[in-house]
Structure 1
């Protein structure tokens, strides 16, 4: 059944736009249209099941398109008792589009990840069956008891490493895992759970989920995942590895599988408030959309003053000279406002002068932190080109950074924004004031 069938539009969805999009992922079809897939969620009450679909021409304005599936597939409903589908992952494999969806209920790990396929992101989508399942009380061989039991089979991410395909998945409880798939069918080659990638202590219910693994420039892999509670303290952290199956370590070399209380993981995006703007709470469940000349972080966020309301946001994602991911503090405003290609991002350290709104993401990543207006007290600046710099902070820490263009939505002008990660594991981001100098 096509997602445009009017019978599926049983709520007043025309005005939703970016609202009510939770756990989003985006793809681009051959005609240049963007398609957004997200959890069956609605801030004001129940909503029908089947994976929400939206479309856009610019990654800024979204039009609700319907649901990918007519409801929760029978096998998933029987296994998990789910009334909606969560956290879809959509990727193209050859001429086929594959959508991995999750079926569960809140607080339970009796869950399932299934697969649907289509010739186009608009559908029609055909159910291909369950890929991996989990039970709430079952214990699986090889899973550490430190992670509080078996993994939770939700939050899928398809990772392609040459001829090998992996399903990276997991949420709370037993940690994040990678399970090998059959590239021809998209189904699992063996019973789960697979290889352990990350976990957190049982004392925090193993609060890590929504993994997304992607290649690093120059080789290796990075994994983004969400820490803590999706309702208020959600935020995105990262680790890097030589292989999609790990081991992943953070900027300080801490293993993300270590659940002994080190709270490993280097912040990428946290709650924040820019001067004059709305507070953004709990950004998370991030995916990455890759195009020829740029990459975007696609995630949901909540309003600090209306924490039950959620919507999709898109931001530029860039890589430091030593291949660490950083993201813009400013939401993507579309190519009409941000035409500067990465090859023309600044290489003159003069761009760092003047006043900036600065945020230390590491100071309290679980909070909605305000920025501080200041100058950048940096020395020993080295320009690597295409917006990439290295410098030393006033306390002696050595940082790698990227300066990228953005549109300040409060001051309504183009400007520069930066993300920097240093050798002490600290992540700092900023937005330059208009009067600080030339704009993109």
Structure 2
């Protein structure tokens, strides 16, 4: 992994891996991420922290904890921390408390620990509270890394965790302490077969009150090259989670291991733009009515370099999440001066689940009655101009986004076809 420079003031969102974003009471956004520069001489060890006033410009704030806490280090032998999950913890006495669940492990080993640190502010200081769950390589089939916290419809906290080893599990947490409520592994909610190396990690669950169901985001394949974000939904937080084709995400057969899980984001490139590969290990956060995804991604032409990106998430009428094809560029960059029709020429990416790497956008023609000035609009899109099919119908959302190549706001869309395959596109710019 290449660190651009040992001076973090120049990083912005570069070098951020496994990110999560929260908003502090000071109005700033805080991004926590894997300690990607732990091997830089003299650089403090711990979870990286960045701040932003607008979700666009990020400044390095420091390193939470400053070291691998002793219990987690002695258990795992870890020299740095992975995948910090930070959440505002509900209290009954009116106090403000933040929880950070961090992972301590080494590559290729199931000897791992998820620890808990607490603070009164996301700015810290953070105080370690010990290990929440730990696994041993020669004892356990599952792996204690990549924690994410979600609350069920009754407000009870749960921790989602796991990886290539044994899949993804969910375990209930004690609402007072944040530790496990019971000494148990928890319920298996997603896994992949040995035929694809069990390649799954970086899970996150969000409750959607609008549909009264839970949405599981999870990353498939290699974080270095072929990562993609997959989705399933369930009526209960403990599952079963099923993709848009109805496949149970705990038991994909070897012949469907590549297709299982609705792929909402993967490697892609739009005309004239930067090729992006291996987007993944996302988390989801909201700001008012707006939903956002934060994830890391690598540059196709310099794959050792990675950065965090934030994208808007829009929802179909049926409650499926759809991700913007362009990174978020600020609240003033999503509206057109006048409403525009969705009909016309588009550059579109079909996120074929069987394609593991970068997918080039193709020019398509869309017919639709939808009109938008950038405000999200649910729409039926008829996609033509394709080599492999005469027409595809999408259950879609049309919305505004900032096109970084054209340097202006354009209409964008994302939608699901009848086979459960997601398409995402940007209206072609002709001048």
Same fold (TM over 0.5): yes
Q: 1:59 aligns with which of 42, 55, 62?
A: 55
TM-score by length of 2: 0.90
Assess if the C-alpha contact under 8 Å between 1:80 and 1:111 holds in 2: yes
1:410 aligns with 2:402: no
Question: Which residue number corresponds to residue 35 of structure 2?
Answer: 40
Question: Which residue number corresponds to residue 228 of structure 1?
Answer: 221
Shift of 1:392: 5.0
Q: 2:238 aligns with which of 237, 242, 245?
A: 245
Q: 2:149 aligns with which of 151, 158, 162?
A: 158
Tell me, in whole angstroms, the C-alpha distance in 2 between the residues paired with 1:405 and 1:381: 13
Tell me, in whole angstroms, the C-alpha distance in 1 between the residues paired with 2:52 and 2:129: 27
Shift of 1:397: 5.4
SS of the equivalent of 1:411 reads coil
Assess if the C-alpha contact under 8 Å between 2:370 and 2:379 holds in 1: yes
Map 1:361-376 to 2 at 5 A.
361-362=351-352, 364-376=354-366
Tell me, in whole angstroms, the C-alpha distance in 2 between the residues paired with 1:32 and 1:331: 21
SS of the equivalent of 2:8 reads coil
Q: 1:426 aligns with which of 412, 416, 421?
A: 421
Shift of 1:423: 2.5
Shift of 1:192: 3.1
**4+ residue stretches of structure 1 with deviation over 3 A?**
42-48, 378-383, 391-398
Question: Which residue number corresponds to residue 7 of structure 1?
Answer: none
Shift of 1:390: 2.8
Assess if the C-alpha contact under 8 Å between 2:86 and 2:98 holds in 1: yes
| Worse-superposed segment, 81-90 or 365-374 | 365-374
Q: Render the CA deviation track for 1:250-297: whole Å, top value 9, x for unaligned.
A: 000000001422221001110011111111010000001111120111
Assess if the C-alpha contact under 8 Å between 1:155 and 1:169 holds in 2: yes
Q: Structure 1 residues 393, 16: closer, same or farther in 2, change over 3 A?
A: closer
Q: Structure 1 residues 60, 290: closer, same or farther in 2, change over 3 A?
A: same
Assess if the C-alpha contact under 8 Å between 1:97 and 1:119 holds in 2: yes
Query: How many residue pairs align between the two structures?
Result: 409
| Worse-superposed segment, 161-170 or 318-327 | 161-170
Assess if the C-alpha contact under 8 Å between 2:342 and 2:369 holds in 1: no
Assess if the C-alpha contact under 8 Å between 1:251 and 1:423 holds in 2: no
Q: 1:278 aligns with which of 270, 274, 278?
A: 274
Question: Which residue number corresponds to residue 202 of structure 1?
Answer: 194
Shift of 1:43: 9.9
Question: Which residue number corresponds to residue 6 of structure 1?
Answer: none
Tell me, in whole angstroms, the C-alpha distance in 1 between the residues paired with 2:39 and 2:159: 32
Shift of 1:193: 1.4
Q: Which runs of no fewer than 5 residues in structure 2 stay unpaired?
A: 91-95, 385-389
Q: Render the CA deviation track for 1:355-405: whole Å, top value 9, x for unaligned.
A: 1111101165421111012212x479799x941113455666553111111
Question: Which residue number corresponds to residue 15 of structure 1?
Answer: 10
Question: Which residue number corresponds to residue 147 of structure 1?
Answer: none
Q: Structure 1 residues 259, 134: closer, same or farther in 2, change over 3 A?
A: farther
Q: Structure 1 residues 433, 393: closer, same or farther in 2, change over 3 A?
A: closer
Tell me, in whole angstroms, the C-alpha distance in 1 between the residues paired with 2:343 and 2:353: 24
Q: Render the CA deviation track for 1:295-317: whole Å, top value 9, x for unaligned.
A: 11100000001111111000001
Tell me, in whole angstroms, the C-alpha distance in 1 between the residues paired with 2:353 and 2:126: 44
TM-score by length of 1: 0.88
Q: RMSD of the TM alignment (CA)?
A: 2.3
Question: Which residue number corresponds to residue 142 of structure 1?
Answer: none
Q: Which runs of no fewer than 5 residues in structure 1 stay unpaired?
A: 1-9, 140-149
Assess if the C-alpha contact under 8 Å between 2:342 and 2:411 holds in 1: no
SS of the equivalent of 2:217 reads strand
Question: Which residue number corresponds to residue 83 of structure 1?
Answer: 79
Assess if the C-alpha contact under 8 Å between 2:368 and 2:380 holds in 1: no
